[in-house]
Chains A and B, each alone.
Chain A
């Protein structure tokens, strides 16, 4: 396997907000190009580096892409993982309104995008988002068409006609808390009973959950331990997606766009991707790929390779 370098860094977004960024690339990578640079962002609940860079079966998705000659980055939005937690997250959730709304997250991404372009002296890079991260990356691409090479949407959300798995009862506080058991139940929702046992290879859930729950030392002190997740995304879902309002106009995306998802996705069911696809009227060479036997969390499941192949083929075509 290609030898990879890992670099972790903090990139300033707004005053007082530093964004955790990880970079992996081949040790011998000598030159950088738009086509061979990629930035990943996570979804509504879990940070990027513990999903995109979790070495399941010995290799993370990040490593898979990097080992194919790419300069790969992922970031945790404010309030997630190893990035600065807004002060409201140190208080009881009901004391403050939801933190890390979509425009805040887009600011964080844009700061990292500009940081990478400058660091590598390149004009553009590829954007890859998961779930809420698709809304974030699509918005970033619309705001920065000259800085975006290709856009990849893994399990994108859109107008919601089914209940959101994230919305709880009562008024929304600054953040919510999630236990490992809740995470597992949400993950397996929609998987046929007889397929559930084999979906996640032994040890993978624990490996992912250990890494993810370890990113929140405060939540870890609760019993049972929780991960605190900013509620900005939940507030946006209520205000927009479940209210029949879109947060971005797919027609404004002018770069090649890939949509990829697993057939059992109940968080962002296939109807959402199928609604977006025809609206991408200005995306040249757009493609929608639906994969077998996978959920919203397919990148962490036994069929993850099918997802990796699909995204890789789309990336490699640019060369």
Chain B
């Protein structure tokens, strides 16, 4: 798969520590297997990087509701998680699935939601991820890369891995979802599922804070971070932004899958088919994908060598944008670094 265009290349000088390498940013649209659809991909890497290796290449995908670029590459305190990984000598990619962020919206999303069935089911999402993986492998002439998923993205990355073990180096699942024993916090509203749902900024904060002890809420998100995230995230849907109140439209394929699989006592993929080293990492206050999900999934990964389950303190489903985000970064980085040396 070939990139249609490289939008721009910028040189960003990391703020703070002088030892931080200079990071290159590249953005591209990758052709989806679905006609007329392009997938937004961003790449960051040290400017001086000249050789590319599977162990030093990472692709990130987002969860059910919000795009990747506005979270994984959101600069908080001067640095995004993507910057953090890239600055350690990695060639790092993120993608927004079609219907999310800066990728093409399926045409159903231009109509009233109830006119069409849910868009972007898991199988379609996995195919789109596959297109981006193939694009990166071809572009860098490498046989494999590391996959990192968040929330629904863990289901997608894990499913892709069960189907393409030979293209995956390591699998890192942040806030993994598994069979649900508690109600989902992602609500599509009453009635039959339409093509997409609409999320308001206030709902996002409410969902984020679910499960946080009352006395810990005030300090969880450093001042300005929620607004930084919400501004970037809600700006990624210009059509939704014009509504009053402004909304973010999110594809409902994930909701339909949830109703049929994890919400219905059925696994979406077979963990025994994962044969690469796998990390599960979850924060203790996660109520979107509560720790019991990762704990149930972990022993089922019977063929993942050197798998590991890490639970972190004082964080939610969104710990990557909270005061303890560095704990998450370290846990994932340690797992990635083990493969490659330095």
Contact = CB atoms under 8 A, between A and B. Distances in A.
Contacts of A270: 295
Q: How large is the interface on A (under 10, 10 to 19, 20 to 34, 35 or more residues)?
A: 20 to 34
Interface stretch (B83-91, B164-172, B246-254, B302-310): B302-310
Interface string A297-309: 0000001001000
Contacts of B284: 277-278
Interface in A260-286: 263, 270, 274, 277-278, 280-281, 283-286
Contacts of A280: 313
Interface in B281-339: 284, 291, 295, 298-299, 301-302, 304-313, 324, 327, 331, 334
Interface in A181-199: 192
- Counting contact residues on chain B (CB < 8 A from A), the size range is 20 to 34
A289 interface: yes
A263 B306 contact: no
Given A263-B298, A274-B291, A274-B295, A285 B327 contact: yes
B242 to A, nearest CB: 43
A292 interface: yes
Nearest to A283: B313
Nearest to A259: B311
B287 to A, nearest CB: 12
Contacts of B306: 292, 303, 306
A288 interface: yes
Contacts of A284: 313
A287 interface: yes
A313 interface: yes
B313 A287 contact: yes
Contacts of A303: 306
A11 interface: no
Contacts, number: 48
A286 B313 contact: yes
Nearest to A306: B306
A314 to B, nearest CB: 11
A122 interface: no
A274 B298 CA distance: 13
Contacts of B324: 285
A286 B299 CA distance: 22
Interface in A87-113: none
A10 interface: no
A247 interface: no
Contacts of B302: 192
A292 B307 contact: yes
A290 interface: yes
A289 B312 CA distance: 9
A288 B280 CA distance: 11
A287 B312 CA distance: 5
Contacts of B299: 263
A298 to B, nearest CB: 13
A291 B308 contact: yes
A6 B144 CA distance: 46
A149 to B, nearest CB: 17
A292 B308 contact: yes
Contacts of A292: 301, 304-308
Nearest to B334: A313
Nearest to A305: B306
A287 B310 contact: yes
A308 to B, nearest CB: 13
B278 to A, nearest CB: 9
Interface string A219-243: 0000000000000000000000000
A284 B315 CA distance: 12
A281 B304 CA distance: 32
Contact of B298 (A277, A278, A290, A306): A290
B154 to A, nearest CB: 17
Given A285-B313, A290-B298, 10 more contacts: A263-B309, A274-B291, A274-B295, A277-B311, A281-B213, A287-B312, A288-B309, A290-B308, A291-B308, A303-B306
Interface of B: 213, 284, 291, 295, 298-299, 301-302, 304-313, 324, 327, 331, 334
Top 7 A-B pairs, shortest CB-CB distance: A290-B309, A288-B311, A286-B313, A292-B307, A289-B310, A278-B284, A292-B306
30 contacts: A263-B298, A263-B299, A263-B309, A270-B295, A274-B291, A274-B295, A274-B311, A277-B284, A277-B311, A278-B284, A280-B313, A284-B313, A285-B313, A286-B313, A287-B311, A287-B327, A287-B331, A288-B310, A289-B309, A289-B310, A289-B311, A290-B298, A290-B310, A291-B308, A292-B304, A292-B305, A292-B306, A303-B306, A306-B308, A313-B334
